[in-house]
Structures are given as C-alpha cells and as structure tokens.
Structure 1
Amino acid sequence: MKNKKLIVTMLMATMPLSILSGCTAETKTDLSNTQNVSNEPQSDNDATQNLQATYNSIQSADVIVVGAGGGGMSAALAAVENGAESVIIVEKMPMTGGALNTTSGTMSGAMTIIQEIDGLTEDSIESYKNDIITEGEKLGGYANEPLVEYYVNNADDMINQLWEAGLSDNQYTVDSEGRKSVFAPEHTLYSYPRSYKAKPNNPEKYKSAAHELLDELVAKEDKIKVVLNTEVVELQANEQGQVLNAIAVSNDETILFTANNGIIMATGGYAGNPELMGEFSEYGDVVITGGLATADGNGLRLMQEVGGSLHIESMGWIPTYPMGLESLEIEGTGQIATTKTQYAGGILVNTKGERFVNETDADNVAREVALEHQPEGIQYEIYTDKIGEDLVASGQGGFLTYYFQSPAFADHVITASSLEELAQKLEIPVDTFLKTVEDYNANVDAKTTDEFGRNFAETSSPFNVAINKIEGDKFYAVAIKPLAIITMGGIQVNTDMQVVDETGNAIPGLYAAGETVGGVWGRYVSSGVGVMGPIVFGDLAGENVMTNELATGYDVKPASNILSEDLFIKKNTASVDELSLTGVKDGEYNVTVDGQEGPMEIKVSFKNEVITGVEIIKHNETITIAKTALEAIPQAIVDANNVNVDNITGATLTTNRIIKSVIAAVELAKQ
C-alpha cells in the first residue's frame, strides 16, 4: 500500500461533523462508532489519528451510491432533487453506464408522450402490467406485484421526463409507418407497441441513449461527484445498526466513504460471473455470458455481510437469449449476434443434425428453453443466399449484413457448396442432416404446418417474413449458444427499496436499486424493462433515502447463507510466466488479431531487445468499454517491458487482445 498522504486539512474538510465537534456515540455519522473500530473513549485528536492511519482518504456526503449504471445515476439525481446537498457515486469501472455499455438500451412504458405523438392512444397501464407479469410467470416464475405495480404507474412519467430532458432530439428506430413506438422482436412481443429504441447522439462514446442522457444530467449537477476506478469492498454499520460507511479500494489506496442519510447499492447483476450463475442455474454449463466482467454479483455478498437477505429462488432465474455468438478467444463469453435467417426460411439444427423447435415461434421463451436443452447448448443457423436476400429485403437483415457478411466475422461462418460438405464441416451426422432438410423442404412444398408448429402457408409476423427451401449453390451455418446478459436474482427489498434482512426488517440506511434487486419481474423480463426498471427504482431509492427517517437500535447480523468468496475470484489478464526478449531484432512489427467486432492491428517496436513502443493502428472494440484499456495498456507494457500488466477493470477481453498481439510480435521479431 502506498504511503498515507492524508493531511489534517483534507480530513477536516471531508470528515462528518460528529467527529470534528465531539458528538456523542449515538450520533449517526460518528465514524469512531463503526462496528469494526474500537469503542474505547477517544479524544477528537485520537479519532482523527486513527482514521488517518487506516485510510488514505475519507470522503463524506449525504448519500453514497455504489454503482454508476442507470439505477445509480437515477438514484443520485433523485437524491439531489429531494434535498441532498452532496452525493458521491462510486464506480469500479473506468466509465459510467454499467450494463448500458453493452445494450442498445430499448426502453418501454405505457401511455407515454411518445405514444401520444405517434397517435397510439389505446394503451393502458393495466395491459402493460399484465404483459410484464405474464412474461415473468413463465416456467413457474412469479413477479413482485407491488413493485411491478409501482413501476408501471411511474415508467410513463420517467419516459416523459427523459423525453423533455433531451430524448426528443434523438433519432429512433421506427416502424413501417414511421412511429417511434414499436414492437421489439428480440423479446416476446407486447400486446401493444410500447418499446422505444432511441439512438445515442454520440455512438462512438455511448451505446444507449439512456446512458448518454443520464450521464449528461449527472455531469451538469454540481452536487453529484462521480468517483471511477474505485471498488467498494465492505459495508459497515455503526452501533445503532445504521449502514452508513463503505470501504473502497482504488489502485493501492483505501478510501472510506461515509454517508449522512444512507447508501444505495446499484451494483448490477451477475451475468458476468459464470461461477455464480452455475451455482444456481440448471443449465449454467452451456450458457455463455455476454455481461460485463465486472457484473460479478459481489455487491450481493457485501449486503449479506450486513444482514441483507437474498431472494434465493430467483437466483436461478437467468433468462437466456438464443442468439449468443461465442468468442473465438475466450471460451464461455460472447455477444448478441444472430443471422435471424430462420425468420426467412432458414432452419436450426443441433449437433445431432436434427431440428428441435419452431424457429418462427413468437414466444422467445420457448426458443430459449429449447436451445438450453440441446447437447452442448449449440444450434446451427442454416441458410442460403436466397434466404439471406429475403431477410435483408424484409428489413431484418441488420445482424446478417453487419456481422456475418463482413470479413471481421468470417471465421464464425461455415460455408459449403453442398449439404453433405456442410454437415462434414460441422461434424454432425450427414444422413440425419440430409433427412432433416428433406423433410423440411417437403413441408415447404406442402404449405402445411409441421410437427413443431411452424406454418408454411403464410408469412404472418416479424418472426416469419419469408418462406424458402434449403436449396441453392452455397450453404451456410453459424453456431449459436444460449447467452445470458441479465440476471433476475438478487437482494430483497421492501416497497421503499430498503434492503431487508431474513426476517423482513429494513436495514437502516441501506437501499438497493436495479438489477441487484431480486425477484422483481419473475423468471423472464419484458422488453425495455431491463433499462427502465433500474431508472424508475433508482429514482424511488434516491427519494426515500432523503425522506425516510433513519432508524436506530437495529442489531446488525450477517445473513445465514452468505455467498462463498470462491464464487468471486477474479480472472484477470492471461499471465505469461516469462516473456523472453532475447533474440528480438530491432524494428517495427505489425500484428493483427481478432477483435470485438473486427480485427485489431497493433504495431510493436523493439530496440536493443527492449519493447520501445506499442501502438494500436486500428481496432473494432466497443469503445464505451474498451477506451481506457486502449489508452493505458500499450504504455503499461512499454513501461514494464513485459506483458504481465494490471488488467483494466471491465475491459479484460481488450487487454488480452493487446497482450496477445505483443506476444505474437515478439515471436515475429525473433524470426
């Protein structure tokens, strides 16, 4: 740990008045009374010296928010609106946004100003609620109806506020009649068009318009401070049982954040933690993760340590998307990317060469569950040029053209001049596959409904835009696996968003919002709710942390079933035991490796067997996530003259690609 640099003047500026003025032990912000600090009588000077010896810095605010995603930023804004003079958002990643960095940010709400402008005036709050609850009840799930009730009655107000704050100026994905209120076929369709796909004004910096707007609103608010690259590792309660302290680490420094009114945990879900998902999910071994590596669920454990109760049943509710393209570099990780060719006459087959589902079923859950049950969780999307052309003509060819018809993703596409050759390349039974295609083509000719319920008589939905046989001069296949990008489990809260213990009692000072809260929506989540839910409930938590009276006399006890620390062991950059530069020739060497959405090209320079430069010539990384790694890792490698450098939080894949490039350049320079 670095030498302590905290000076008395800084301490005086940031320390709660309870210490500086010698308040009694009952004062809620008296740091000398935290449970992990000695309770022996101390002078003000002794307390100051003890804190100086323990922490590199101490920062105090009315409200501490842990997590700068949609829920955290919304909570901070609401706290200020309800009287907070100071709010600190603590974020372990090098940027705000959380999960909004990985999604286009579809929003939803009923009876909104957007629907009104579109002339869609027949929606209702009750219909919205019923759609959400029906989706959540699939396969034995159940929603928290009081929280869903609050959400549906406030989502429209939040949409309208965001519209007035700037979303009205954004471009939107529109339907055939130019309306911004649309159906979202990546989810089970609502009974009425109420999804909104706003595009960010600055797509190089933001992936979702919601993130962009919230970031701007937070930046404009002088009373909100955002602290990045800082991870909260412990929550502390004082003698009154009030959870008002959060201990965090940043690089080699330890920071104490202390709140006057409360702490809001908006730490997200655990879709980036395969070990934790596998602990509760029956099909965890075949699911790949598309969540940020920082979406590890560790915030749940921190809340359990001060008594927070997990909603255990929902921990295994991990909806998957049947559109996961697995990384060729990092097994078990991937991204949303599907050809969608099954909607235009293509088929899905498993590793046995057999179809297993109605590929055009409007119920996403049916297709999701069917894929989870397949051997190794693999489906091959089989299509032809004609099928691809019809899909593009329907307006649904975005994924196909952007990804699979580009050189960047060529390694994911298996191409053959015959069905026999395709089966051989896929290593699936040839005869079975040929019979599968033969039977499928016969159903197309008969214009009937097959054994899976696929209708070949007419094109009637966004999931069935063209009818084609599997025939042609070329045949294509792409392997797809179940992808998890959101989790439904988490901590339990009451209707004020206060974290509750195993007896249902609220823990004073501790609130939660967003994906870290469990059991809200049921087993599956509806379109736009994954974005708007955290924003709406973050707003509620921010209001209540300022308006609720801070209770006293609570006895803090750890939960009885705290998640094992082993589930949170971080897997950082690939370590290289020894990178020998002996024999490396002077010069500049260009190396190309696979990147996030296309090749990454890097130039590495050597002189006198020393790495003198690492320059990224071009890349196709997701800039909202990778920016810090792209800027910091090359220089870190040069400074260390080695590739064993610290990982950039949230950008592990980008870091590994840069390291892989440098290793390849070393080998090239030795030739």
Structure 2
Amino acid sequence: MSEVEALEADVVVLGTGPAGMAAIAAAADEGATVVVLEAMDHIGGNAVWSTGYLAFVDSAMQREQDIADDEETFVADARAMVEQARDRFGVEWDEALVRLFARESAETYRLLVERGVRFSRFIPRPRQHTVDRMAAVEDSWMLGRAFRADVERPGVTVRYGTVADRLVVTDGRVTGVRAHSTTDQALLEVTARRGVVLATGGYQANPELRRRIQPEAVSRAPYLGIDTCRGDGHLLGQAIGGDLINMTFVPPLVIVSSSVVEDAIAVNEAGERFHDEAGPYEERVDRLHEQPGRRAWYVVDDEVAREKATLIGQMPEPPVTAGSLAELAAAIGVPAAALEATVARWNDFLATGAGQDPDFGRVVLPPGRRTCARAPFTAVPMVEGINFCCGGFRVTTDLQVLDVFGDAIPGLFAAGDCVGGLNPVSDLGGIHISGGFTLGRLAGRAAARDVRGGGGHGSVLHAQLPGMLDTRIALVQLDPEPTTS
C-alpha cells in the first residue's frame, strides 16, 4: 500500500477560485495556518475566465457617483429575481444569506481595490438591478492575481494538482481531508485542527452528476469555464450528510462572455437582430429558441475580434471570418443586403448618443460607443449551454454546512458555488464571483475562529425538515461511509 503523506493545519481550504482565495486570506489574517488543495496548477478558478462583472451594495464606487443603494433595495431586487425563477425551477433562496451578502459586499469591493483590482464603470441592468451596482473590472485577469500574495504567506501551504477524495470525520466533527495527486496518484491526508472550507466551485463540468438532476440531452450541453468544476465539494459534503438545495437549478444560457456581448449584435437567418443581446439570460435563450433551427450568430468587427480573441475562442463553435459583410453573409447563409442594413442601423443608433436601443431596449452598449465598422468581420454561432449552477449546501450565517436535519456539521464550512442559498439570485448579474469573494472571506474567518455547531440561523430549520431524507437527491458518487479516525 502506498505511503500516505501527512500534513496538518488549523484550516484546510479546498479550491482556489474566488471563494477559496478569499477564505485563505481571511483565515491567514486570523493567524491560522492553512493548507490549500487545488486541482489545477494555478489559483483563480473560473475567475480567470470571467468577464469581470461584480455586484456590490452601497460600495465606495456607488457613493462616489451619488448612487443610493442599501440592503433593502438589493433584497427587493433579489426577491423579484427569485419569483421569476420559480416558474422554471424549484427554488430555495436564503434571505438571511442574501442580506449577509448585501451587508458585506462593500467590504469585498474595498479589499479587491486594495489588492490592485480596478473597476472602470457600471454595467446598467435596469430590469434586474434597479440601481447601478454591477461594476466592470478593467483587467479581469487581476481577479485571479489579487490574492497571489496571500497564498505565498509563510503560514499557507498550497498543493496544486491535488484532488480531495474524502472528508475525515472524528467523533462527529470534520477533522481533515484525504486526497491524491493527479500527476502521480500519491496519497495525502491533511488534518484540520479547526475547520475545512469547501470552495471547489460548481458541477457544470460533470455530465454524469448533472444527468441525475437534468434530462439526459440537457445534462450534456456545453458549459463555459474550467473542467475541474465537477461537484467535488458537493459530493464530499453530501457523503457525510450535508443538505444540498437548488441542485436542479442549472439555468440555460447562450454561451458567450458578457464582454463580447457588449460589442456584438446578434442576427438570425434573415440577417436581422431579434432581441436585446445583453438582456436577461433566460430571455436570450427564449429568443434563440424562436429562430428557425435555433440558428443565429454574434457579429463583431476586426477590432473587437482581435481584442477579444481569447473570449471568442472559448465559445463552443468556431468563428467565421470574411473580408466584408457581404462575404460574411454568404459564409453563414444569410441575405447580404439584410446583414448590411442591420449593421448600418446599429451603427447609426450608436452615433446618435441615445442611451437605449430603439428596437429592443438594449442599454448595455459598446465601450466608447464604438461601431461595428472595421473589416474583416467575424460571426460566431450562438449555442445554448450553461455557465454556472445554483445548487449547493444549506448553511448558517457563519457558513457552516447544515445536515438534512438542520444541524450544523462541526468543522465543515462552504462558500462560493458550494453554497445553495445565495446563487438563486445570480441572474441579477455579478453575484457569482462577488458572492464567492464575500462568503469565502466569511467562511475562512469562521473556520479560523473555530466556530462550533449550532451557530448562525441553522437551528430554526428543525421544524422545516421532517421527511427531508425521503426527498433529498441522491448524488453520492463516493463511498457513502465517511472516513473516521
């Protein structure tokens, strides 16, 4: 049998996406030693693929521009989004967690700016955010580097290319993790003196897991992001009784970076625009479904195609480029005159200085109102898929994972896409990454302070949970017996 390497720390963090990075920094700030296990060979998670839109409530950036925002306004927006989602999914949102995010997100903004992240402008989404609170990052790659210094602190040990296999439970408390290296399969056991934080991201890259909660064809739809979002944290926590909610809430969308959408228009087989390209995600999908054969394309000019080549290259189907709009129309099979007229109408609108597109009410416009005018031109097929999942654990306001009876599991915390109560409001925009940074910070701090079971608002759930064991979704792919020592 292979020898098992042993490590020990106050806190163990699984994953280094936004939630994991923030948890590491917060735990270290509390004086805790930290061991970090990361499946990839670098930190950042899906943040390195992100467009870089983050929502904050009552942030310094809002105050500087005299934008009034507060907890109640945000909660009202979130509640409206949840009510819309109920028509499509079973939804359990955690208002206490939403309020916690609202109160703490301004501090997240401050910490990111302190670490060198710069926000250039607000992205208006009046149908989702009733005030401007979604800010665009100047250089989204900075989101993955903002916490680099934290993972290099003396008390922090990071093991890259390492995947957690099992939580270790001692006398009912999570006391560590068993893991293996993805390069040589070497075994590792890490003891956590105070707590383990699950921050492994979502489960969009695990079609077998998704097949258990989605129709087969839908479960194999393409996704945008890294391939290590396999639901590892969800399975680890569920194997010891963690209560997963919103697992079937996997919203479809047209796969495209929002940064590309800012500069693109979308045309159908008639060569015409057919919707607000930057509108609510579900409406984009609905409008695509209405097109013959569900065929349509995003169109950009050479300046945008060069500037955003990496983002365009991440889309599921390859782009088509041609020397003129007429040639592009021939290449994708749409009427040349109609495509030329559509692009001209869009450019004429941008030249007016008006703030809202007269055809479909679009308000998210190209930076600097730059037109689609520089040959060659590029078209990218519109493809339906997913970007993020909303399912995760029920948690206390200390981010402790709750079991199916509503009791906090001692020593186990979750953040980011491993938490199910905040993500149902993600269609607002800017919530996934900002929520990861915000709740990750709180989870890392709570784990370092050795918060014990029964904290937060978890205890009030006892009356709601009888019979939950009969209805909870069985997703366990691990040995259901927890490792004990």
Going from structure 1 to structure 2, the CA distance change for 1:243 and 1:399 (only over 3 Å counts) comes to same
Check the 8 A contact 1:104/1:199 in 2, yes or no. Answer: no
Give, in angstroms, the shift of residue 440 of structure 1. Answer: 7.5
**1:139-170 CA deviation, whole Å, 9 max, x = no partner?**
3265321100010011112222333x333xx5
Whether 1:549 and 2:452 are equivalent positions in the alignment is: yes
Q: 1:243 aligns with which of 168, 174, 177?
A: 174
Check the 8 A contact 1:76/1:87 in 2, yes or no. Answer: yes
Give, in angstroms, the shift of residue 278 of structure 1. Answer: 4.7
Check the 8 A contact 1:112/1:159 in 2, yes or no. Answer: yes
Q: 1:230 aligns with which of 162, 174, 178?
A: 162
Aligned 1:168-187 pairs, distance under 5 A: 170=117, 172=118, 174-175=120-121, 182-183=122-123
**1:288-327 CA deviation, whole Å, 9 max, x = no partner?**
211101111122111111111221x443333524527xxx
Whether 1:262 and 2:209 are equivalent positions in the alignment is: no
The one-letter code matched in structure 1 to 2:94 is: N
Aligned 1:284-323 pairs, distance under 5 A: 284=218, 287-311=221-245, 313-323=246-256
Could you tell me the percent identity over the aligned residues? 23
* Distance across 2 between alignment mates of 1:374 and 1:281: 24
Going from structure 1 to structure 2, the CA distance change for 1:226 and 1:508 (only over 3 Å counts) comes to same
Which residue is 2:75 aligned to? 129
Whether 1:482 and 2:384 are equivalent positions in the alignment is: yes
Give, in angstroms, the shift of residue 247 of structure 1. Answer: 0.5
Which residue is 1:107 aligned to? 54
Q: 2:397 aligns with which of 492, 495, 500?
A: 495
* Distance across 1 between alignment mates of 2:436 and 2:43: 14
Whether 1:403 and 2:309 are equivalent positions in the alignment is: yes
* Distance across 2 between alignment mates of 1:321 and 1:407: 15
SS class of match (1:288): coil
SS class of match (2:167): strand
Check the 8 A contact 2:123/2:364 in 1, yes or no. Answer: no
Check the 8 A contact 1:338/1:399 in 2, yes or no. Answer: no
SS class of match (1:315): coil
Give, in angstroms, the shift of residue 501 of structure 1. Answer: 1.9
Which residue is 1:211 aligned to? 144
Unaligned runs of 5+ in 1: 5-55, 176-181, 201-206, 325-334, 390-396, 448-453, 552-556, 567-671
SS class of match (1:123): coil
* Distance across 2 between alignment mates of 1:72 and 1:379: 37
Check the 8 A contact 1:273/1:297 in 2, yes or no. Answer: yes
Check the 8 A contact 2:174/2:409 in 1, yes or no. Answer: yes
The one-letter code matched in structure 1 to 2:71 is: I
* Distance across 1 between alignment mates of 2:135 and 2:325: 42
> Normalising by the residue count of structure 2, what TM-score does the alignment of the two structures yield?
0.76
* Distance across 2 between alignment mates of 1:197 and 1:374: 31
Going from structure 1 to structure 2, the CA distance change for 1:425 and 1:246 (only over 3 Å counts) comes to same
* Distance across 2 between alignment mates of 1:110 and 1:98: 24
Check the 8 A contact 2:222/2:385 in 1, yes or no. Answer: yes
Going from structure 1 to structure 2, the CA distance change for 1:373 and 1:510 (only over 3 Å counts) comes to farther
Check the 8 A contact 1:322/1:368 in 2, yes or no. Answer: no
**1:448-506 CA deviation, whole Å, 9 max, x = no partner?**
xxxxxx965798733599999x9999986431213533221122223221212222222
Q: 1:413 aligns with which of 320, 327, 344?
A: 320
Going from structure 1 to structure 2, the CA distance change for 1:191 and 1:109 (only over 3 Å counts) comes to same
Going from structure 1 to structure 2, the CA distance change for 1:549 and 1:490 (only over 3 Å counts) comes to closer
Give, in angstroms, the shift of residue 256 of structure 1. Answer: 0.9
* Distance across 2 between alignment mates of 1:72 and 1:408: 24
Q: 1:191 aligns with which of 117, 127, 130?
A: 130
From the CA coordinates, give the structure whose radius of gyration is larger. 1
Give, in angstroms, the shift of residue 398 of structure 1. Answer: 3.7
The one-letter code matched in structure 1 to 2:75 is: K
Q: 2:14 aligns with which of 60, 66, 76?
A: 66
* Distance across 2 between alignment mates of 1:472 and 1:487: 37
* Distance across 2 between alignment mates of 1:262 and 1:475: 53
Going from structure 1 to structure 2, the CA distance change for 1:320 and 1:360 (only over 3 Å counts) comes to closer
* Distance across 2 between alignment mates of 1:440 and 1:455: 13
> Normalising by the residue count of structure 1, what TM-score does the alignment of the two structures yield?
0.57
Give, in angstroms, the shift of residue 540 of structure 1. Answer: 1.8
Which residue is 2:185 aligned to? 252
Whether 1:57 and 2:5 are equivalent positions in the alignment is: yes
Give, in angstroms, the shift of residue 373 of structure 1. Answer: 6.5
Give, in angstroms, the shift of residue 550 of structure 1. Answer: 5.6
Which residue is 2:464 aligned to? none
SS class of match (1:487): coil
Going from structure 1 to structure 2, the CA distance change for 1:219 and 1:229 (only over 3 Å counts) comes to same
Unaligned runs of 5+ in 2: 350-355, 455-468, 479-485
